[in-house]
A = this chain, B = another copy of it.
Amino acid sequence: MGDDTRLNPRHNKAEVFARLRDAHAREVTEDYVEMIGDLIAEEGEARSVALAERFGVTAATVNNTIKRLERDGYVTSRPYRSIFLTEKGETLAKKCRERHQIVYNYLVSIGVEPEVAEFDAEGIEHHVSEETLRVFELRLLS
């Protein structure tokens, strides 16, 4: 007795917050692979300086993050050269781009100003489950 958790399942939030912390850890990775993909598509290559400018951080910060991404197998890079996505990075970038687009389109479709939708989508996209994403898609089509 006295196990509040079992008596009142409403309090079993620990798992939710654990998954939330995981999502957090992935956010920067996702933003980077997405942006690297955009840069390659738009400008032919992804340079540190462009990433720094677009994220509004210093070159040193970009460097650290790229090292981590490389360590985790999302990108390859050689000193003083531009950055490339691995298969793994490409796959993640594609998924993120799609997710972002669905969230953005959905927000606009319900009446959110495009500029606001762009900002909100950037934050929301990392926290939308596959299930909710499907609902967004479904409602977008109808």
- Measuring CB to CB, which residues of chain A are less than 8 angstroms from any residue of chain B? 5, 11, 13-20, 23-24, 31, 35, 53-57, 107, 110-113, 116-120, 122-124, 126-129, 131-132, 135, 138-139
A18→B124 contact, CB < 8 A: no
Q: Tell me the smallest distance from the CB of A86 to a CB of chain B, in Å.
A: 23
Q: How many copies does the complex hold?
A: 2
Q: Tell me the smallest distance from the CB of A52 to a CB of chain B, in Å.
A: 9
A131→B116 contact, CB < 8 A: yes
Task: Taking A17-B122, A23-B123, A127-B127 as given, write out 15 further A-B residue pairs in contact, using a Cβ cutoff of 8 Å, ordered by the A residue number.
Answer: A5-B53, A11-B54, A13-B56, A14-B53, A14-B55, A17-B55, A20-B123, A107-B135, A110-B139, A112-B131, A116-B132, A117-B132, A120-B129, A122-B127, A123-B126
Bound CA–CA A11/B49 (angstroms)? 13
A111 to B, closest residue via Cβ = B135
B107→A120 contact, CB < 8 A: no
Known A-B contacts A111-B135, A139-B110; the reply to A56 vs B129 at CB < 8 A is no
